[in-house]
């Protein structure tokens, strides 16, 4: 019976031109975005040099050993490359007498040419590197430097040597987005069923009330989970802890189905479903963007239920987290999903 | 009366402070058509909603086919067919899909949607989306949906309200056909002609109370006054209509005098309509 209802609802969903198009385009669009983004991180510093006297011993290593830099034959060539190619963030022109003057302790003028848009922090770091280099040239000043040993301690996941690419970072966001979008479809269909009286026809006829709601919840799960499954399979992220990932996707879909019930309950018509969906969807996607742009992450995002969905996805896909690592998140997803579904169901029943 | 198909005792329901159904009691025999007649807001739909399990009575009790409408709500609902007051079909689906969905949910074996659609006059329009149907077609489809599970009892809430004469007649034919197979029909309407034509008995509902319940003929006999309407031609050529009330002692003499002294053009017998009777009993019309 419930299977018949679910099949009918899915048929109705895809008969709704808007939902059908959004669903099809959504999956394709997200995949295109995902595969267009680079899957590697460019960690090169992109430095450009013009060295007037390449025989000076200090510069021998630069000349002989390849690195994240390019040595140009003239200052003009270097400046053109710096300005036009976008491959370099800083260029240095090293006149022949510069090293000797620095070694003698004289003040030397050195121009560092920066590409447009280089942030102040990067300029400061490069300046500090130059000071250190200058000090190695002049042992007297080196003697004045404070001596210390530093021990690097990385908080959280140590990304040294394995940085996350944009593709890695956007994966949790895209997976969450495709599920979130289904909230609108589910809420619209549910609201329409109640509004048009078809729900009443069903529950005063062949169906019991709980069968109707279970059917709707399953329909939402099939739509949300089905799409996110396709997306994650094509993205190739299912290979990492597949069972855990499937469980997370399932619970994330459950959370969104609960939200769909809640939105349907508080909406009066299709227009208000649209309005409420926007109100809820915008904060729901914030946590996803905070993974894409880590600077956005703030503590209050943990108040948004979708945080626990996207955080789990991020940890599983990008850091190989296990069941124990995300158990807390998954429990919260289950509780919030069940809670919003219970509240939504109770509110919808009042409309019958 | 044998075991009644519907037995209602002291049924009451209020919407907040508004008393919609006020302590009503009645029985309906199996295979009977009962018409609930009353103006808008009289409580007809509330009675239907309680009997079909859409509302829980606040007081009183009722059984349908021997089952309690509260305790056995779902079993009751499995045995009845409902045509709702407002259209509630899946408009993005065609008629066959609408009927097949309910047939599957009711688990009706070998269900033939096309056959049923032909019976309600929708054969040939079965592939169209319901959204393109006229109001009359939708109402006929609602009637067909109510018949999908071959129910023992039909609840028809204003089934012909606002319909064209052809659709109305189709629905009347369907109701008559259903009663011939022993289906009990609970019909609510504010169309007294419809109630008169279809109902074995009618109940007048006014402000939540049943103010009269009997066969249309007996109600007319009890409350109505029979009359003769006589058209006479006056000496100057004008035509005048005279009304002679029947069932009075002086009626024979009055009729005799009329025929003797006047040039009679036509004579018609008249009886009170249900609307007249409703007005006499309640002091208000059925359209109110």
In this predicted structure, the answer to whether residue A37 has a pLDDT above a threshold of 90 is no
Nearest to B189 by CA among B171, B138, A195, B77: B171
Q: Which residues of B touch A196 (CB under 8 A)?
A: 88-89, 91
> Are residues B6 and B17 in contact, defined by beta-carbon separation less than 8 angstroms?
no
Q: Do B52 and A204 touch (CB under 8 A)?
A: yes
In this predicted structure, the answer to whether residue A301 has a pLDDT above a threshold of 80 is yes
A1 touches chain B (CB under 8 A): yes
The 10s digit of each residue's pLDDT in A157-214 is: 665 556 778 888 899 999 998 888 888 888 998 989 988 899 999 999 989 989 999 9
pLDDT of residue A107: 75
pLDDT of residue A155: 58
Q: Which residues of A touch B76 (CB under 8 A)?
A: none
The 10s digit of each residue's pLDDT in A127-136 is: 777 777 666 6
Question: What is the overall mean pLDDT for chain A?
Answer: 83
Residue B164: band (very low, low, confident or very high) from pLDDT cuts 50, 70, 90 = confident
In this predicted structure, the answer to whether residue A289 has a pLDDT above a threshold of 70 is yes
B101 touches chain A (CB under 8 A): yes
In terms of C-beta density within 10 A (0-12 exposed, 13-18 middle, 19 or more buried), how is residue B74 classed? middle
Task: Summarize the confidence of residues B140-151 as an average pLDDT.
Answer: 93
B12 touches chain A (CB under 8 A): no
In Å, how far is B107's CA from the nearest CA of chain A? Answer: 8
In Å, how far is A222's CA from the nearest CA of chain B? Answer: 19
Residue B2: band (very low, low, confident or very high) from pLDDT cuts 50, 70, 90 = low
Cα–Cα distance between B113 and B142 in angstroms, integer? Answer: 13
pLDDT of residue A134: 67
Give pTM, 2 decimals.
0.76
pLDDT of residue A16: 85
Task: Tell me which residue in B54, B74, B149 faces A208 most closely, judged by beta carbons.
Answer: B74
pLDDT of residue A89: 79
Nearest to A231 by CA among A13, A29, A38: A29
Residue A309: band (very low, low, confident or very high) from pLDDT cuts 50, 70, 90 = very high
Residue A140: band (very low, low, confident or very high) from pLDDT cuts 50, 70, 90 = low
In this predicted structure, the answer to whether residue A115 has a pLDDT above a threshold of 80 is no
Nearest to A125 by CA among A155, A150, A98, A90: A90
Cα–Cα distance between A26 and A35 in angstroms, integer? Answer: 14
The 10s digit of each residue's pLDDT in B27-75 is: 999 999 999 988 888 899 999 999 999 999 999 999 999 999 999 999 9
In this predicted structure, the answer to whether residue B286 has a pLDDT above a threshold of 70 is no
Strand pairing of B153-157 and B184-189? parallel
Task: Summarize the confidence of residues A233-258 as an average pLDDT.
Answer: 90
pLDDT of residue A149: 59
Question: What is the overall mean pLDDT for chain B?
Answer: 89
In DSSP notation, A126-184 reads: HHHHHHHHHHHH-HHHHHHS----------SS--TT-PPPHHHHHHHHHHHHHHHHHHH
pLDDT of residue B6: 95
Task: Tell me which residue in A15, A206, A207 faces B92 most closely, judged by beta carbons.
Answer: A15
ipTM of the assembly? 0.83
pLDDT of residue B285: 66
Question: Which of A62-76, A255-269, A311-325, B74-88 bottoms out in mean pLDDT, i.e. has the lowest?
Answer: A62-76
The 10s digit of each residue's pLDDT in B223-250 is: 767 788 889 998 888 999 988 888 788 8
pLDDT of residue A157: 61
In Å, how far is B79's CA from the nearest CA of chain A? Answer: 9
Phi-psi region of B50 (alpha: psi -120 to 50; beta: other; left: phi over 0): alpha
> Are residues A164 and B108 in contact, defined by beta-carbon separation less than 8 angstroms?
no
> Are residues B194 and B10 in contact, defined by beta-carbon separation less than 8 angstroms?
no
pLDDT of residue A42: 65
In this predicted structure, the answer to whether residue A144 has a pLDDT above a threshold of 60 is no
Beta strands (DSSP E) in chain A are 47-51, 69-72, 90-94, 112-114
Nearest to B51 by CA among B30, B29, B67: B67
In DSSP notation, B78-103 reads: HHEEEE-SS----TTSBHHHHHHHHH
Query: Which of B70, B77, B80 should one mutate to test binding to chain A, selecting the residue with the greatest count of A CBs within 10 A?
Result: B77
Cα–Cα distance between A231 and A41 in angstroms, integer? Answer: 23
Cα–Cα distance between A209 and A216 in angstroms, integer? Answer: 11
Cα–Cα distance between B103 and B111 in angstroms, integer? Answer: 7
Cα A171 to Cα A174, A238, A292, A315, B146: the distances in Å are 5, 12, 9, 11, 50
Q: Map tokens 């409902």 to a residue.
A: B82
pLDDT of residue A138: 62
Q: Is B238 or A147 the better-scoring residue by pLDDT?
A: B238
pLDDT of residue A104: 73
Task: Tell me which residue in B87, B89, B105 faces A206 most closely, judged by beta carbons.
Answer: B105
Q: Please, what are the domains in chain A?
A: 1-38+164-350 (no CATH), 47-137 (3.40.190)
Q: Do A204 and B82 touch (CB under 8 A)?
A: yes
Task: Tell me which residue in B54, B90, B104 faces A12 most closely, judged by beta carbons.
Answer: B90
Q: Give percent of chain A with pLDDT exceeding 70.
A: 88
Residue A279: band (very low, low, confident or very high) from pLDDT cuts 50, 70, 90 = very high
Cα–Cα distance between B44 and B248 in angstroms, integer? Answer: 37
Q: Is A310 or A115 the better-scoring residue by pLDDT?
A: A310
Phi-psi region of A105 (alpha: psi -120 to 50; beta: other; left: phi over 0): left
- Reading the block at residue B57, the tokens are 């009575």
In this predicted structure, the answer to whether residue B109 has a pLDDT above a threshold of 60 is yes
Cα–Cα distance between B62 and B4 in angstroms, integer? Answer: 11
> Are residues A170 and A38 in contact, defined by beta-carbon separation less than 8 angstroms?
no
pLDDT of residue B7: 95
Q: Is B12 or B221 the better-scoring residue by pLDDT?
A: B12
Q: Three-state SS for B31?
A: coil
pLDDT of residue A160: 58
- Reading the block at residue B82, the tokens are 């409902």
Q: Three-state SS for A156?
A: coil
Which residues between 140 and 199 in chain B have a beta carbon less than 8 angstroms from any beta carbon of chain A?
145, 149
Residue A328: band (very low, low, confident or very high) from pLDDT cuts 50, 70, 90 = very high
C-alpha dihedral over A344, A347, A352, B5, to 10 degrees?
100
A211 touches chain B (CB under 8 A): no
DSSP code for B129: B
Question: Which of A57-66, A262-271, B64-73, B74-83 bottoms out in mean pLDDT, i.e. has the lowest?
Answer: A57-66
Q: Do B88 and A208 touch (CB under 8 A)?
A: no
Q: Do A196 and B149 touch (CB under 8 A)?
A: no
pLDDT of residue B127: 85
pLDDT of residue A327: 94
Residue A45: band (very low, low, confident or very high) from pLDDT cuts 50, 70, 90 = low
Q: What pairs with residue B14 in β-bridges?
A: B19
Nearest to B213 by CA among B72, B80, B54, B32: B32
């Amino acid at each position: 019976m419930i299977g018949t209802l679910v099949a009918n609802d899915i048929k109705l969903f895809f008969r709704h031109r808007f939902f059908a198009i959004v669903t099809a385009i959504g999956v394709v669009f997200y995949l295109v975005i995902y595969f267009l983004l680079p899957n590697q991180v460019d960690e090169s510093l992109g430095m450009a040099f013009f060295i007037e006297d390449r025989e000076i011993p200090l510069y021998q290593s630069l000349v002989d050993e390849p690195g994240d830099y390019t040595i140009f034959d003239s200052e003009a060539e270097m400046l053109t490359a710096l300005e036009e190619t976008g491959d370099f963030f800083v260029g240095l022109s090293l006149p022949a007498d510069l090293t000797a003057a620095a070694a003698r302790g004289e003040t030397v003028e050195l121009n560092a040419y920066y590409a447009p848009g280089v942030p102040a922090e990067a300029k400061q770091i490069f300046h500090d590197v130059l000071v250190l280099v200058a000090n190695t040239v002049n042992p007297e000043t080196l003697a004045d430097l404070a001596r210390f040993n530093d021990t690097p301690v990385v908080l959280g996941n140590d990304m040294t040597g394995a940085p996350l690419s944009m593709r890695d970072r956007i994966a949790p966001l895209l997976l969450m987005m495709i599920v979130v979008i289904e909230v609108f479809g589910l809420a619209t269909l549910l609201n329409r069923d109640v509004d048009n009286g078809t729900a009443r026809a069903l529950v005063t006829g062949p169906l019991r009330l709980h069968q109707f709601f279970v059917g709707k919840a399953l329909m939402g799960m099939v739509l949300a989970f089905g799409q996110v499954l396709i997306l994650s399979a094509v993205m190739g992220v299912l290979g990492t802890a597949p069972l855990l990932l499937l469980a997370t996707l399932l619970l994330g879909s459950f959370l969104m189905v609960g939200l769909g019930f809640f939105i349907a309950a508080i909406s009066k018509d299709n227009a208000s479903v649209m309005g409420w969906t926007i109100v809820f969807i915008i904060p729901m996607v914030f946590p996803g963007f905070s993974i894409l742009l880590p600077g956005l992450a703030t503590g209050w995002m943990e108040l948004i239920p979708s945080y626990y969905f996207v955080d789990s996805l991020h940890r599983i896909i990008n850091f190989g987290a296990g069941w124990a690592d995300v158990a807390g998140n998954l429990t919260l997803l289950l509780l919030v999903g069940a809670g919003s579904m219970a509240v939504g169901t109770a509110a919808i029943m009042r409309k019958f | 009366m044998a075991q009644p198909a519907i037995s209602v005792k002291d049924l009451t329901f209020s919407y907040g402070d508004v008393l919609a159904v006020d302590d009503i009691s009645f029985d309906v025999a199996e295979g009977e058509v009962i018409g609930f007649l009353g103006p808008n807001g009289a409580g007809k739909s509330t009675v239907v909603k309680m009997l079909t399990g859409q509302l829980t009575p606040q007081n009183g009790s009722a059984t349908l086919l021997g089952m309690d409408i509260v305790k056995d709500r779902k079993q009751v609902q499995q045995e009845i067919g409902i045509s709702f007051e407002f259209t509630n079909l899946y408009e993005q689906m065609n008629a066959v899909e609408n009927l097949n969905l309910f047939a599957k949910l009711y688990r009706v074996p070998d269900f033939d949607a096309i056959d049923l659609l032909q019976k309600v006059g929708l054969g040939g329009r079965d592939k169209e989306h319901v959204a393109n149907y006229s109001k009359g077609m939708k109402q006929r489809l609602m009637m067909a949906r109510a018949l999908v599970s071959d129910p023992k009892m039909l609840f028809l809430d204003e089934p012909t309200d606002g319909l064209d004469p052809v659709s109305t007649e189709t629905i009347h034919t369907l109701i008559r056909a259903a009663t011939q197979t022993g289906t009990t029909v609970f019909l609510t309407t504010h169309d007294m002609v419809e109630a008169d034509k279809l109902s074995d008995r009618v109940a007048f509902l006014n402000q939540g109370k049943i103010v009269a319940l009997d066969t249309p003929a007996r109600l007319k006999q009890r409350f109505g006054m029979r009359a003769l309407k006589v058209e006479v031609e006056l000496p100057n050529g004008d035509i005048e209509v005279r009304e002679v009330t029947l069932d009075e002692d002086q009626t024979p003499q009055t009729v005799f005098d009329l025929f003797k002294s006047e040039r009679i053009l036509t004579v018609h017998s008249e009886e009170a309509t249900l609307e007249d009777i409703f007005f006499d009993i309640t002091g208000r019309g059925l359209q109110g």
